[in-house]
Each structure stands twice: as C-alpha cells, then as structure tokens.
Amino acid sequence: MADDLGEFYVRYYVGHKGKFGHEFLEFEFRPDGKLRYANNSNYKNDTMIRKEVFLTQAVLRECRRIIAESEIMKEDDNNWPEPDRVGRQELEIVMGNEHISFTTSKIGSLVDVQSSKDPEGLRIFYYLVQTGYKLTGRSFCYCKIKALPTLNIKHIKIHVVLTLLLDEVEIFLEFYEGKCSSLIYLALDGIGSYLESSLGQQGFLLGF
C-alpha cells in the first residue's frame, strides 16, 4: 500500500502537563496504512484510550490530496507561538521527498491565529489539524459498523471523497461563523444525511 502511494507519514500531538498529570491527544497515519489514536486524560481518573485501524488506498490518497492542497509543506514555524505551560502542539508530515516538523503552542480559537506573527501559516495549520480530527473520528466511529454482503467499493470511494469534502467545507465555514446564512449549514446537514441513507451505513466503512 505504501509503495503505491509513495512515502507518507503524519503524526499530530497536542497536550500539556498540569495538576492531572500529562494529558494529551495524538493520532498517527503510518506508511503501512495503519491509523493510530491515543487520548490520555486523568480527569476523574479516566484511563488512556488507544485505538488502531487500517485505512485503504482510497482514503490515504484523499489524505495526501488534502495535505498537498493545504500547502502546509511550504510553511515554517519560525514565527509561530512557542509551546508554553498551557500546552504544545506537534505536527510531523513526510510526503514523498518532503519532510516537515512543526511545534507551537495550543490554539484556543481563530483569535489566537489572527493575533500571531504568521496568521496565514498558522491558519493553514489550524484548519488542517481540524480536518485530521474529523477524519480520525470518522474512521474509528464507522469502522465498527458491520458491512452488508452487497458492499459496493466504487460507491464507498465516492462516498469517502464526498464526506471529506463536506468536512472541509464545514471547517471553512466555521471561520465565517455569523456571516453565512444558516441555510448553508442546513444544506450541509441534509447532504450528509442523504449520503448516509442512500448508500446505507456500510458506506461509512471507508472501504474496510
């Protein structure tokens, strides 16, 4: 799988050390297609959550497309806020012959992005991370659904692309919250519901 797509690796980490110890969230897309997720919170004695799942080539290609079109590989973190006591974020991406490794502080909202020394670069980082959150969440949520015998791989691949596209549109609109008509958000919800019902819940299996 990795050979067909070329070198590809992504790791994201966000965390801090406080009165509840080391709390963090991390996800990793490995070259063999494995998606690893870890979430450690000691609040109310919660235990660490660890999950793993394998993704198909179709999903990995879509991940590569999202990263390439974001142009995050052209950015650098020289003018990004340094990690502090509030927390730190780390992003490492290997794609083809390119390799980046960024560190910055936790971002509370787009206000923090706008007030930084590099709002354009940090905005790209912010949106890409949000997309990663959504993709990771969908992968582990939907892989638990049992596939039906009439599984249509072609439809699933189309569904994956459309689902990820809707996520990107949703994240983009968040930046313009309050400026866009609520009808747009209703339309997105309607399209998402239609995709789910028309292909059946097995469509969310991302090709497993």
Q: Over the stretch 92-138, which tens digit does the pLDDT of each residue have?
A: 999 999 999 999 999 988 899 999 999 999 999 999 999 888 888 76
Position 165 scores a pLDDT of 54
Position 88 scores a pLDDT of 95
Rounded to whole angstroms, the Cα distance separating 39 from 50 reads: 7
Q: Is 66 helix (H, G, I), strand (E, B) or coil?
A: helix
Using an 8 Å Cβ cutoff, are 90 and 105 in contact?
Answer: no
Position 193 scores a pLDDT of 53
Position 169 scores a pLDDT of 52
Using an 8 Å Cβ cutoff, are 39 and 25 in contact?
Answer: yes
Position 18 scores a pLDDT of 78
DSSP string, 91-119: EEEEETTEEEEEEEE---SHHHHHTSS-H
- Counting as low any pLDDT under 50, the low residues of the chain are 1-3, 142-159, 168, 171-183, 185-186, 196, 199-208
pTM of the model: 0.66
Position 4 scores a pLDDT of 54
Rounded to whole angstroms, the Cα distance separating 140 from 125 reads: 23
Rounded to whole angstroms, the Cα distance separating 200 from 208 reads: 15
Smallest Cα–Cα separation from 169: which of 156, 141, 188?
188
Position 78 scores a pLDDT of 95
